[in-house]
C-alpha cells in the first residue's frame, strides 16, 4: 500500500476514535435512561394492576368474611332463642309462671356467657324488656323515643332487622340483631343478641396500608357504622369521598351482587384507588380507600436507589470504554491496513468466481439445449398428434420432467414422466430414461403401457445398480403412458400419474398405480393392467406431473390440487387445443402470484384427430413454446 494512502487513513482513524467514544457514550446514556424509564413504568403499572385486582380484593374479602361470619352467627343465635317454644308459651301467658321465670333467666345468662353476647327479650303483651345483665330492665312504652326500635320491629313484620349503635363516650360499637318471636305477622315479642363490633374496628387497622388509607363499614343510608378511625364512626361517607364516587357506591351496591368493584379517581391531583363490596349477610357496604402513592412508595425508594446505582455504573462504564477504545485504536489501525489488503485479494477472487460462474451457466444452458433435443420435435407432432398442447417448465434451467413421443406402425406411444430430483440430477435421469424407453419400444417392440412400465422398472434398477440395496441413492420416476392404436383404441397405464379424459362434457380420471418406477421397493402386481378406452370424436386427454397440481398459491397459499385442475379443463374445453394450452399457463400464473415455482411442471393435452380431419388441421395448427 502507498504511504500517502496509509497516512490518509491514519488521520481518519485518530479522529474516528474520539467520535466513536463520544457517540458510544451518548448511546449508553440514552439506552440506560430508556431502559430505566420503561422498566419503572412497567413495574409501576404491574404493581397498580396487582393492587387493584389482587391486594385490595384480598383485603376486602378477608374483612368482609369476618364481618359476615360475625353477623351470621349472631343471626343464628337470635333465631334459636326467638323461636324457643317454651319461651314463646311463657310470653303469651303473660310471664305468670314464676317457676319457669327462674329457668328462663338461667337459660338467658348461660347463652350470654357461652357466646359472649348480650341477650335480650321484649314481650309484646307485657312490655317487659329482659337482658342477661340486668334481667327485667324496663317496661317499653310507645311514648318513649328510646323504645321506638321495638315497635318499629313489630310493625315491619320482618323476621330479622339489624341495628348498629355507636357510643362515642364509651368507644363502643354494638350490632343489635332484632328477631320477631314466633309468627312474623303476630309475634309474641322481639328477641335477639347484641354483638360488640369494636374488635372488628381494631382489626380494620391491621389491614391499613400506610397512613392515609381508610376502611369503612357503611349502612344503606351512607352512614359509617365502623371505622378504624373512631372519629369517623357515625359520620357520613359522603363527607370523605367525591360526590360521583359516593353516588356510584350507593347506586351499584343497591343494584348489583356482592362482588368487589374497584374505582380509581384523583383527589387533589393525586391518584386514589377505592374498592367496595356489599356484605352477604346484610345490605351494608364495606369500603376500602387508599392513596396510590402509599402502595408505590416502595417503588419510589427502589427508583432512587436504582438511579444512584445507574449513575455510578455509567461513570465506570464511560471510563472503561475510554481506556478500551484508546487501546483498540492501535490494533484498529493494523486492521485497516490488513483490510485494504484483503479487499484487493477479495476483488481478485471475486473476478475469478464471476468467471467460473459464467462458465457454469454456459454449461447449464448447453445442458438445457441437450435435454430439449431429446424431446419430441415439431415434425413428429405434425405426423402423429397434431391437435395438442405441451406445457413444459423446469423449475431450474434443466429439470427432471420430460415427455416422450414415438410413432409406431399401429399408431403412437406418448409418455409423460417426472424423474427424481430437480436441476442437473433430474436432467441426467431423463436422459437415462429416454434411452431405456427407446430400447423397450423400438428395439423390443413393446406397445402395452403396463409392460413398458414393468420393463422400464427392471432396466432402470439394473442401470442404477439397485441390486446393491443402497437406500441413499434410491432414484426413480413417476410416469403416465398412453398407447394409441389407429383403430380408435387407446391403452393407458400410469405409475403415480393419472389420465384425465374430457368426453361429452363429462370428466373422468383414470388413476395410475400407487408405486413409482425404478425404486428399490418398486413392484407391480399381477393386478396391474392396461386401461382400454374407445376414443370418440371430440375426446380430449390430459397427462400432468405433480408439479402443476402441487404448486402453492391462491389466497390461502394452498396447493392447486386435482379439483382445481378439473375446473381448468372444464372452463377451457370449448377452446382449441392451442388456446387451451395458453389458458392452462395463464391460470397457473394467476394462481401462483408471487409464490416461487416449487417443482418441475409438465402438462400434455391432446385430441385424437381422425384421418378425415387431419388435412384441415395441418393447415391451421402450430406448436407454441412456453407452452412448448
Cβ-contact 390, 627 below 8 angstroms: yes
Residue 218 pLDDT: 86
Strands, DSSP E only, in 71-187? 118-123, 128-131, 135-139, 160-167, 172-180
Specify the pairing of strand 552-553 against strand 558-559.
antiparallel
3-state secondary structure (DSSP) of residue 619: helix
Measure the CA–CA gap between 221 and 236, rounded to whole angstroms: 9
Greater confidence (403 vs 364) lies with: 403
Measure the CA–CA gap between 581 and 571, rounded to whole angstroms: 12
Residue 166 pLDDT: 65
Cβ-contact 404, 412 below 8 angstroms: no
SS (H, E, C) 177-202: EEEECCCCCCCCEEEEEEEECHHHHH
**CB-based contacts of 354, cutoff 8 Å, min separation 6:** none
Measure the CA–CA gap between 365 and 349, rounded to whole angstroms: 24
Specify the pairing of strand 285-291 against strand 214-218.
antiparallel
Residue 245 pLDDT: 87
3-state secondary structure (DSSP) of residue 540: strand
pLDDT band at 482 (very low <50, low <70, confident <90, very high): very high
Residue 572 pLDDT: 95
Q: Is the pLDDT of residue 462 over 60?
A: yes
Least confident of 167-171, 212-216, 415-419: 167-171
Q: Which residue has the cell 327462674?
A: 102
Run of H or E including 217: strand 214-218
Catalogue all structural domains in the chain, each as residue range(s) with its CATH number: 375-620 (3.60.40.10)
Mean pLDDT of 396-411: 94
pLDDT band at 619 (very low <50, low <70, confident <90, very high): very low
| Neighbour-count burial for 275-310, b at 16+ CB within 10 Å, e otherwise | bbbbbebbebbbbbbbbbebbbeebeeebeeeeeee
Specify the pairing of strand 401-407 against strand 261-267.
unpaired
Q: Is the pLDDT of residue 282 over 50?
A: yes
Per-residue pLDDT reduced to its tens digit, 197-221: 766 766 666 666 666 778 888 888 8
Measure the CA–CA gap between 468 and 51, rounded to whole angstroms: 74
**CB-based contacts of 518, cutoff 8 Å, min separation 6:** 456, 457, 460, 461, 464, 466, 475, 476, 477
Mean pLDDT of 547-566: 95
Residue 623 pLDDT: 37
Measure the CA–CA gap between 85 and 89, rounded to whole angstroms: 6
Run of H or E including 500: strand 499-503
3-state secondary structure (DSSP) of residue 95: coil
Amino acid at each position: 500500500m502507498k504511504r500517502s494512502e496509509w497516512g490518509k487513513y491514519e488521520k481518519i482513524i485518530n479522529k474516528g476514535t474520539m467520535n466513536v467514544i463520544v457517540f458510544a457514550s451518548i448511546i449508553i446514556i440514552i439506552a440506560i435512561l430508556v431502559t430505566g424509564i420503561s422498566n419503572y413504568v412497567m413495574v409501576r403499572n404491574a404493581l397498580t394492576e396487582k393492587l387493584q385486582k389482587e391486594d385490595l380484593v384480598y383485603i376486602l374479602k378477608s374483612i368482609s368474611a369476618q364481618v359476615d361470619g360475625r353477623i351470621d352467627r349472631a343471626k343464628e343465635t337470635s333465631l334459636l332463642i326467638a323461636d324457643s317454644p317454651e319461651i314463646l308459651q311463657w310470653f303469651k301467658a303473660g310471664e305468670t309462671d314464676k317457676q319457669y321465670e327462674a329457668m328462663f333467666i338461667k337459660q338467658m345468662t348461660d347463652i350470654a356467657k357461652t357466646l359472649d353476647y348480650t341477650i335480650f327479650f321484649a314481650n309484646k303483651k307485657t312490655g317487659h324488656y329482659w337482658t342477661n345483665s340486668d334481667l327485667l330492665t324496663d317496661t317499653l312504652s310507645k311514648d318513649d323515643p328510646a323504645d321506638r326500635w321495638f315497635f318499629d320491629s313489630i310493625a315491619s313484620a320482618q323476621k330479622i332487622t339489624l341495628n348498629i349503635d355507636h357510643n362515642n363516650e364509651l368507644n363502643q360499637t354494638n350490632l343489635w340483631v332484632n328477631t320477631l318471636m314466633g309468627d312474623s305477622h303476630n309475634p309474641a315479642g322481639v328477641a335477639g343478641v347484641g354483638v360488640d363490633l369494636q374488635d372488628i374496628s381494631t382489626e380494620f387497622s391491621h389491614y391499613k396500608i400506610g397512613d392515609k388509607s381508610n376502611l369503612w363499614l357503611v349502612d344503606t343510608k351512607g352512614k359509617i357504622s365502623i371505622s378504624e378511625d373512631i372519629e369517623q364512626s357515625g359520620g357520613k361517607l359522603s363527607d370523605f369521598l367525591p360526590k360521583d364516587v359516593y353516588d356510584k357506591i350507593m347506586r351499584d351496591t343497591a343494584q348489583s351482587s356482592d362482588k368487589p368493584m374497584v374505582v380509581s379517581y384523583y383527589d387533589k391531583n393525586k391518584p386514589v384507588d377505592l374498592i367496595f363490596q356489599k356484605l352477604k349477610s346484610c345490605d351494608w357496604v364495606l369500603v376500602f380507600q387508599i392513596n396510590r402513592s402509599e402502595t408505590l412508595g416502595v417503588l419510589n425508594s427502589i427508583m432512587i436507589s436504582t438511579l444512584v446505582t445507574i449513575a455510578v455504573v455509567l461513570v465506570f462504564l464511560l471510563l472503561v470504554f475510554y481506556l478500551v477504545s484508546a487501546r483498540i485504536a492501535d490494533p484498529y489501525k493494523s486492521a485497516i491496513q490488513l483490510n485494504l489488503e484483503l479487499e484487493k485479494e477479495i476483488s481478485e477472487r471475486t473476478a475469478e468466481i464471476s468467471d467460473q460462474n459464467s462458465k457454469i451457466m454456459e454449461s447449464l444452458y448447453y445442458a438445457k439445449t441437450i435435454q430439449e433435443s431429446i424431446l419430441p420435435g415439431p415434425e413428429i407432432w405434425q405426423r402423429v398428434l397434431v391437435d395438442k398442447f405441451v406445457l413444459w417448465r423446469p423449475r431450474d434451467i434443466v429439470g427432471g420432467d420430460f415427455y416422450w413421443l414415438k410413432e409406431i406402425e399401429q399408431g403412437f406411444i406418448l409418455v409423460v414422466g417426472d424423474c427424481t430430483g430437480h436441476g442437473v440430477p433430474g436432467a441426467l435421469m431423463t436422459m437415462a430414461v429416454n434411452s431405456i424407453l427407446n430400447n423397450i419400444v423400438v428395439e423390443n417392440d413393446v406397445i402395452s403401457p403396463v409392460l413398458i412400465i414393468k420393463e422400464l422398472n427392471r432396466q432402470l434398477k439394473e442401470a442404477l445398480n439397485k441390486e446393491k440395496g443402497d437406500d441413499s441413492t434410491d432414484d426413480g420416476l413417476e410416469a403416465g403412458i398412453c398407447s394409441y392404436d389407429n383403430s380408435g383404441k387407446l391403452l393407458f397405464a400410469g405409475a403415480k400419474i393419472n389420465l384425465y379424459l374430457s368426453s361429452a362434457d363429462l370428466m373422468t380420471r383414470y388413476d395410475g398405480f400407487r408405486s413409482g418406477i425404478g425404486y428399490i421397493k418398486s413392484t407391480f402386481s399381477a393386478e396391474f393392467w392396461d386401461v382400454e378406452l374407445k376414443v370418440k370424436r371430440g375426446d380430449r386427454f390430459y397427462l400432468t406431473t405433480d408439479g402443476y397440481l402441487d404448486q402453492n398459491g391462491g389466497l390461502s397459499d394452498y396447493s392447486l390440487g386435482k379439483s382445481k385442475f378439473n375446473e381448468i379443463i372444464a372452463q377451457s374445453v370449448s377452446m382449441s387445443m392451442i388456446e387451451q394450452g395458453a389458458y392452462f399457463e395463464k391460470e397457473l400464473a394467476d394462481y401462483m402470484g408471487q409464490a416461487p415455482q416449487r417443482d418441475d411442471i409438465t402438462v400434455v393435452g391432446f385430441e385424437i384427430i381422425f384421418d378425415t380431419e387431419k388435412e384441415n388441421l395441418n393447415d391451421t395448427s402450430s406448436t407454441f413454446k412456453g407452452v412448448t
